[in-house]
Amino acid sequence: MATDPNTFTSILSESREFTPDPEFSAQAHVPSFEAYQALYQEAADDLEAFWDKQAKAHLHWFTPWKTILKWEPPFAQWFVEGRINASYNCLDRHLETPRKNKAALIWEGEDGSSQIFTYQTLHYEVCRFANVLKDLNVKIGDRVILYMPMIPELAIATLACARIGATHSIIFGGFSAEAIKDRVEDAQAKVVITANGGRRRGQIVPLKDTVNKALEQVDCVEHVVVVDHLADSDFDTPPAITPRDVKWHERMAEAELDCPAEELPAEHPLFILYTSGTTGRPKGVVHSTGGYLLGATYTSKLVFDLKEEDTYWCTADIGWITGHSYIIYGILSNGATSVMYEGAPNYPEPDRFWKIIDKYRVSIFYTAPTAIRAFMKWGDEWPLKHDLSSLRLLGTVGEPINPEAWMWYHKVIGQESCPIVDTWWQTETGAMMIAPLPGATPTVPGTATLPLPGIIPQIVDAEGKPVPQGQGGYLTIQKPWPSMLRTVYGDDERFKEQYWSKFKDVYFTGDGARQDERGYYWVMGRVDDVINVSGHRLGTMEIESALVSHAQVTEAAVVSRPHDIKGEAIVAFVTLEGNLKASDALKDTLKAHVVEEIGALARPEEIIFTDVLPKTRSGKIMRRLLRDIACGRVAQGDTSTLEDSSVLDQLRQSD
């Protein structure tokens, strides 16, 4: 592999700097560092005036707002009394322009099939499906769950919900029946939309079977809409039909064409997206319509330097926030072309992504560090087989990117001629927060660089005081921003407690960070009990609860250890009931149990059985010590608070 070896010096101090190419800058929305600084200053001087201007410039409003921001910490309302529709902004407003017949969505199936929707034909599908939902008695504010493969119907259903003011909640297709049940019940969803199955790495993902199982004991769901994505002959046993089921294609054939977009209040909840936190139960992050759409639209334009001529591809699943903001809302709202791919990156061969870029002449490519590390491992020959010269910009998201992966991305994929935007943000922030502007900001491998205009971060100590430059601390956001989450669905108290209780009236991200001499932010990762496996967020307590729900487990403690490809891998310490004997078979059973409870993404890499777990006198599990053991380091540091210090010796010997 023709890549740099992993050198320690490059991790400890990164001095490689890449200044924007003048040719790129000349055509960019923000063409110089001075222009970025001026914009940042303009925003910082008067945040409300800045966002007022951006909201007018980027979005179509049916009715203008009367108040820009109502801030009753921690509750924000943006563009109060303004009326807007996200589907109208992503579709209808383009129909009056020459964009009407350009590709809005290019879809590629894993089997090589492809479908292209223009803005006009996507509008047509969305209007009809919106009428299908209305016929199923879905009303403004009702919750609709989407558990679907990466197929065009997922984008259509999302925009149809937005059109009629139904709040969508998309569940990633890798989650288990148990996880779906929790979310459907928490959201009290009226309708679930799914497909008979999806394709992944040549296999069939039986989504409808999983939904059937999830809904066995659920009352709130009136209908399940099923897309027949696969033929019956693809299945050994086609999924069972239940009395609640209706067929997507049958309903669509009968649906009316005309469906005007609802004029919704700016604060109307556009969607709920469940994400892991520090307690056992995932939380429903609630996003607004106006503020969220502004965040997604404005950041797409600035950070991707997005133009309507761009063919843009984000490889995330729409089940994550990245797909919401940067496959659907931010991209279509800007009138660009969004590529969507159903399957795995290495199917049928490890060059599938590069083939897709070549085939559609993709100009902007957004992926995750974990994927980049896998591509590096598979070897340079796969991308080198294809013509990647259509690319003009690369992006990454999901976790800190190690400088080696950044350099490989730059050299092998970007052919040293594409700026890389490393974008820091979260499900809760709705849109990118810290990221370079590609025509303006010099980039350095490993850092997301500087905050976007309108975003005011600060790194603070445990008391909330700013730390000196260069010192690590907690990453906070000091002022409200339009695309911030509004609450945790049905649980304002949890919202306050999770994000606003550590520092008064200041948003706590859960991340640790430091700023270097030039003010660039280096995000180090989570400082709470959340781990990041392949860019997916998992709560250690969530995995622990799953383990403890198994009859043979007494207690469990979950930590992570660094992993070459995944970033972090899950290691679970487990104590067993009574005199049960530890065995490899039991390890496999417990791993399968976690998959059953949460989904394959939470499968522990390793299970270590132990008679006892190290605890403080107050009963708190000492995860730091477990982490040391999981990483093969001798447990060091302060153990004076350990209740029983012989635990450590036992743990080191246990397996």
Sheet holding 245-247, edge to edge: 245-247, 223-227, 191-195, 143-147, 167-170, 271-275, 283-287, 487-488
Of 351, 422, 542, 544, the one binding ligand WT7 (CB under 6 A) is 422
- The distance of closest approach from Cβ of residue 428 to ligand WT7 in the complex, given in angstroms and rounded to an integer, is 7
Does 210 interact with ligand WT7 (rule: CB under 6 A)? no
Does 305 interact with ligand WT7 (rule: CB under 6 A)? no
Stretch that binds ligand WT7, among 357-365, 505-513, 604-612, 639-647 (CB under 6 A): 505-513
Between residue 327 and residue 356, which ones bind ligand WT7 under the rule CB under 6 A? Answer: none
Does 449 interact with ligand WT7 (rule: CB under 6 A)? no
Does 271 interact with ligand WT7 (rule: CB under 6 A)? no
Residue with tokens 């020459």: 98
Cis peptide bond upstream of 348, omega within 30: yes
Instruction: State the residue number with the nearest CB to ligand WT7.
Output: 427
Does 423 interact with ligand WT7 (rule: CB under 6 A)? yes
Does 529 interact with ligand WT7 (rule: CB under 6 A)? no
Does 402 interact with ligand WT7 (rule: CB under 6 A)? no
Does 448 interact with ligand WT7 (rule: CB under 6 A)? yes
Stretch that binds ligand WT7, among 145-153, 495-503, 523-531, 644-652 (CB under 6 A): 523-531
* DSSP-assigned letter for residue 227: E
Does 426 interact with ligand WT7 (rule: CB under 6 A)? yes
Count of helix runs (H) and strand runs (E) in the chain: 23, 30
Does 198 interact with ligand WT7 (rule: CB under 6 A)? no
Q: Which amino acid appears at position 38 of this protein? A: A
* DSSP-assigned letter for residue 69: E
Nearest partner of 20 among 437, 301, 434, judged by Cα: 437
What six digits make up the tokens of 578?
């009574």
- The distance of closest approach from Cβ of residue 427 to ligand WT7 in the complex, given in angstroms and rounded to an integer, is 3
SS3 sequence of 468-533 = CCCCCEEEEECCCCCCCCCEECCCHHHHHHHHHCCCCCCEEEEEEEEECCCCCEEEEEECCCEEEE
Does 39 interact with ligand WT7 (rule: CB under 6 A)? no
Does 511 interact with ligand WT7 (rule: CB under 6 A)? yes
Stretch that binds ligand WT7, among 45-53, 220-228, 391-399, 548-556 (CB under 6 A): 391-399
Stretch that binds ligand WT7, among 138-146, 373-381, 509-517, 552-560 (CB under 6 A): 509-517
- The distance of closest approach from Cβ of residue 9 to ligand WT7 in the complex, given in angstroms and rounded to an integer, is 21
- The distance of closest approach from Cβ of residue 145 to ligand WT7 in the complex, given in angstroms and rounded to an integer, is 19
What six digits make up the tokens of 25?
């800058």
CA distance 26 to 24: 5
Residue number, 536 or 550, with CB nearest to ligand WT7: 536
Residue 589's H or E segment, with its range, is helix 584-597
Measured on CA atoms in the order 354, 356, 358, 364, is the torsion positive or negative? negative
Of 400, 414, 457, 567, the one binding ligand WT7 (CB under 6 A) is 400
Cβ pair 193, 148 in contact under 8 A: yes
Does 275 interact with ligand WT7 (rule: CB under 6 A)? yes
- The distance of closest approach from Cβ of residue 275 to ligand WT7 in the complex, given in angstroms and rounded to an integer, is 6
Of 268, 537, 566, 623, the one binding ligand WT7 (CB under 6 A) is 537
Alpha helix stretches (DSSP H) within 606-653: 623-630, 646-653
508 Cβ partners below 8 Å, 6+ apart? 474, 476, 499, 500, 502
Does 523 interact with ligand WT7 (rule: CB under 6 A)? yes
Residue number, 321 or 362, with CB nearest to ligand WT7: 321
Stretch that binds ligand WT7, among 219-227, 353-361, 418-426, 477-485 (CB under 6 A): 418-426
How many Cβ atoms sit within 10 Å of the Cβ of residue 219? 8
Cβ pair 572, 556 in contact under 8 A: yes
Binding site for ligand WT7 (CB under 6 A): 275, 321-322, 397-400, 422-427, 448, 509-511, 523, 525-526, 532, 537
